[in-house]
Structure 1
Amino acid sequence: MTQYILGIDEGTTSARAFVIDESLNVLGLGQAELTQIYPKAGWLEHDPMQIWHTQKDVMEQALSQAGITADQLTAVGLTNQRESALVWDRETGRPIHNLIVWASRHSDEIVERWVASGFGELIQERTGLVPDAFYAASKIRWILDHVEGAQERAERGELLAGTVDTWLIWNLTGREVFATEPSNASQTMLMNLDTVDWDDDLLREMRIPRSMLPEIRNSDSHFGTIEATFGAPVPIASNLGDQQAGLFGQAAFRQGQVKMTYGTAGVLNINNGDTPFRPEGLTPSAAWNVQGNLQYETEGVVYAMGKTMQWMRDDLQLIHAAPDSEWYAGQVQSTDGVYLVPAFTGLAAPTWDPTARAVIVGMSNATNRLHIIRAAVESMVFQTRDLVEAAVAGSGFAIPELRVDGGAVKNNLLCQLQADILGIPVIRPKNSEATIFGAMQLAGLSTGVYKDLAELESLYAVDRVFEPAMSRDQADAQYAGWTAARDLTRGWTRNVAA
């Protein structure tokens, strides 16, 4: 009998759901965009109720397209945008403020105060994370500070806080399960990386009551069922943050295996095995806890990859659609020395400068739109090399190949340039949807659809390997130009009045 798995992928720009069979064939897909709310420059919010209702709708779409009903499902797997945070009323289920999205800079001043007081050192020691408004903790603190009476209500146990996975699980289970797991929890800046539990010293200093926070379960735990919302007692059998789900979906189960996701943001993940490494500028996190085995990863995040292409399309109107960038960029042999550094909301790993801002440099009167578009494509390549170089310098092991996923890897020029600039093979799998498939495969492993990790590894299929074709001297010269351009952006908002 065919076994069906439903996957939930709640992202930054859209909510999606997939239905697959045990052979990983896609039978149904639902997708809908999410409204992006910009209260002011550098801030980004989502409506949590829209997230929930949209996600439920696309799940129904996927089931309908697959021609099955919920009671025919074996399991549900969940993956989500991490770091984004919300606070809601325990009794009514209503959020007290919009979700603050991972990329938003609402809480810059809060983090600056923590760092200035010396508290940032304890944060980094306990969590492994570089203190930044990127993570959920300061977003929760911001909401408690800016919604009247919220701190007092939190201390009375009337409010709950969490990341998107927790919000969806709580709603899907009819408010019965309030839980998360290590890959999401380790990205809040509240979880102790050694104990895999909320850190009481951090909570005390941040004035976030422990009673607000969800239980941390294993990634392949039973997170309740969807009976309350879909009428069938189908278990939510996996939960992974989007980037760790991508690492899992790339079958990177062994220490030293690496993947790069080119999504709205870009994220490099390196499987560390059972020991967290702490390279300068990158952050250790929990990869997953599966079958009782806790694995760590080192991670580097850059804020703008697909986001840069959205900007080129929507704001500059230089392209009609993101895939057009491959054709336009390929019409010129180089950028003629033009670099685009997309530090729209600052620089993330490995530089970590929230005061940086985006620049286009190196233009002459011969520069045209094609050079700008190619520079945007190349910005993804150079940011990836920033991360890889930091990882190699701090981990002690070489990176022999890079597995890639995300929508942008359909761009052959991007993948070839990435291999050229890194000087290592870039491997594109047949299935570029590693994130959602990682969550679904883990749900299948959790419920016995798949026997073990070896079986999942055997399902991994390569579409194309891009081998380096550029001389190292040329690659290093281009990268040197990038680093010079990147460094020009640093400290911009400190030095230049808005």
Structure 2
Amino acid sequence: MAGYILALDQGTTSSRAILYDDQARPIKTVQKPTKLQTPKASYVEQDARQIWQTQISCAHDVINRAGLLATDVTSIAITNQRESIVLWDKQTGQALAPAIIWQDRRTASYCNELAANQTIAQQVQQITGLRLDPYFSASKIAWLLKHNPNIKARISSGQIAVGTVDSWLIYQLTGGEHVIDVTNASRTLLYDIHKLEWSETLCARFDIPMAILPKVLPSDGDFGRTKKGLFAKQIPIHAVLGDQQAALFGQGCMKAGMAKNTYGTGCFMLMNIGQDAKLSEHQLLTTIAWQRSASIKRIDNLSIGQIVQSGKRMLQPPKKEMTYALEGSVFMAGAIVQWLRDNLGMIKQSCDIEDLARQVESSEEVVLLPAFTGLGAPHWRSDINASIVGMSRGTTKAHIARAALESIAFQTYDVLIAMQKDSPYPLTELRVDGGAANNDLLMQFQADLLGVPVLRPKDTEITAKGSALLAGLKSGLYDESIIEESWQGDHIFEPSLSDDRREEHLEKWQQTITRALVDI
């Protein structure tokens, strides 16, 4: 069956569109940057219009540059930056405020006040699998409503909608479908991951009217078709996944115990833990990895489509298969390199960081603590500031560059240790993706710290591929074997550091964190 999947990958710093053929191979990519705005300390915003305009522009351009027509596209897949929030008018489709991005920390004091009540903090984790942190969407929505009283007054009229970036894109693509995928819903701090519904308790806690929230669908649900005139045909949207869940799917981590780490703007390690939502006891998150709609089963030789309600002969409703994951979120990964490039001018391009870091044998005593927006898992300390320690007169920018790369690996190590305590599955390998996964120096140091092989696929932009695979499976373009067959290895980084040297590195890192906590 010939056809193509159009994957829309809306990230923190860019929008991309990638076309995949009937063998799940990427044939053309178009990418356009988006701008972050920081109008105040701790504020991180984007123009929601720009998110949409760059994304739809990429979609049209990639079809044209591939020499195809919209009629060649079987279905659309969406993957997106998670936790970021858009508030819009349903009638006009216009955003009513800047999008508040996942890195935003303006609600830190509000979350800290709530988290001080252990009962509330435990309730949040029990229901959502998450933590009370400004990273997630609920406090962002609450802030928007509180600081825009004119918007809150219009809610009763049914004109106001709120959603994560996937929801915003779907609304624009379809011309009015207000829906959200279950993986994105599970990142809002408002969704019950056990009952699979919006939590009335938490919506009331954050004073968020449930009427403004989107309808939640499975990851391979029917999200609607593109509105007439947007493309040459109305294309169905067959799959939506938050970016990290999409990477887990794209890496082929279909069995419990398999894990991946994405090195993007932030750093995100996810481990498939199967069909039970086991809550973390070591400061990690439990999140929905994906939900797939299984086929309707036959009973008593009934064919699909027949509904017989007499006696014992009844067609079972479609079963929605749920998979959960443990997640450790690191706020600053590739963003550290961007900081060295844009704020300090140490490098001209992000890819220059490896050559600069290789100019020295080690970072010596230099440690960069990248708490620019606090520390994420497993520390969850929004009150820690970034710092560089251990410098001397002999310190050069090469030492700082190497320390910056090492800080990414150190943060990942902390997450892994917590994950191993939570999971009954020992980690035997780590699959990696994202832009910084192309950095050989970083990947080797990561393997050395973890003590397990690090596997890098040929295609490190695995996020879009994950959503494309799911859309292809839903539409019938692919069969299940494509998940394993399409994963091709590029390089395996084997651990090579001695135990003593490894412990020296880890001790230096831990001392830096301890010192930062004491200084608060």
2:284 is the counterpart of 1:282: yes
Change (3 A) 1:400 1:310: same
Task: Give the alignment's TM-score, normalised by structure 1.
Answer: 0.96
1:97-132 deviation line (CA, Å, top 9, x unaligned) = 100000001211221232234422211121111110
Deviates more, 1:267-276 or 1:469-478: 469-478
Runs of 4+ deviating beyond 4 Å: none
Q: Where in structure 2 are there 5+ consecutive unaligned residues?
A: 294-319
Q: CA deviation at 1:385?
A: 0.2
Equivalent residue runs for 1:154-193 within 5 Å = 154-175=155-176, 177-193=177-193
The separation in 2 between residues aligned to 1:290 and 1:484, in whole angstroms, is 44
1:35-68 deviation line (CA, Å, top 9, x unaligned) = 1111112210001111111111011111111111
Match of 1:355 among 359, 383, 386: 383
Deviates more, 1:84-93 or 1:247-256: 84-93
| Residue of structure 1 equivalent to 2:515 | 488
1:423–1:472: 8 Å Cα contact kept in structure 2?
A: no
2:24–2:468: 8 Å Cα contact kept in structure 1?
A: no
| Residue of structure 2 equivalent to 1:205 | 205
2:454 is the counterpart of 1:426: yes
Equivalent residue runs for 1:278-357 within 5 Å = 278-279=279-280, 280-291=282-293, 292-357=320-385
Q: Where in structure 1 are there 5+ consecutive unaligned residues?
A: none
Q: CA deviation at 1:491?
A: 7.4
2:194–2:277: 8 Å Cα contact kept in structure 1?
A: no
The separation in 2 between residues aligned to 1:224 and 1:65, in whole angstroms, is 26
2:24–2:482: 8 Å Cα contact kept in structure 1?
A: no
Match of 1:442 among 460, 463, 470: 470
| Residue of structure 2 equivalent to 1:5 | 5
> What percent identity do the matched residue pairs reach?
39
Match of 1:475 among 482, 497, 502: 502
| Residue of structure 2 equivalent to 1:371 | 399
| Residue of structure 2 equivalent to 1:387 | 415
Change (3 A) 1:274 1:365: same
Equivalent residue runs for 1:92-111 within 5 Å = 92-111=92-111
| Residue of structure 2 equivalent to 1:135 | 136
1:278–1:395: 8 Å Cα contact kept in structure 2?
A: no
2:464 is the counterpart of 1:457: no
1:298 is paired with a residue whose SS is strand
Q: Which amino acid aligns with 2:58?
A: V
2:149 is paired with a residue whose SS is coil
Q: Which amino acid aligns with 1:191?
A: Y
The separation in 2 between residues aligned to 1:26 and 1:127, in whole angstroms, is 35
The separation in 2 between residues aligned to 1:95 and 1:455, in whole angstroms, is 39
The separation in 2 between residues aligned to 1:277 and 1:475, in whole angstroms, is 31
The separation in 2 between residues aligned to 1:468 and 1:28, in whole angstroms, is 35
1:28–1:64: 8 Å Cα contact kept in structure 2?
A: no
1:356–1:491: 8 Å Cα contact kept in structure 2?
A: no
1:327-350 deviation line (CA, Å, top 9, x unaligned) = 111111111111001100101111
Q: Which amino acid aligns with 2:507?
A: A
Q: Which amino acid aligns with 1:271?
A: N
1:343–1:489: 8 Å Cα contact kept in structure 2?
A: no
| Residue of structure 2 equivalent to 1:53 | 53
Which has more radius of gyration?
2
Match of 1:407 among 418, 424, 435: 435
| Residue of structure 2 equivalent to 1:120 | 121
The separation in 1 between residues aligned to 2:345 and 2:514, in whole angstroms, is 27
1:351-410 deviation line (CA, Å, top 9, x unaligned) = 001111101011111111110000001011101101000000122321110000000111
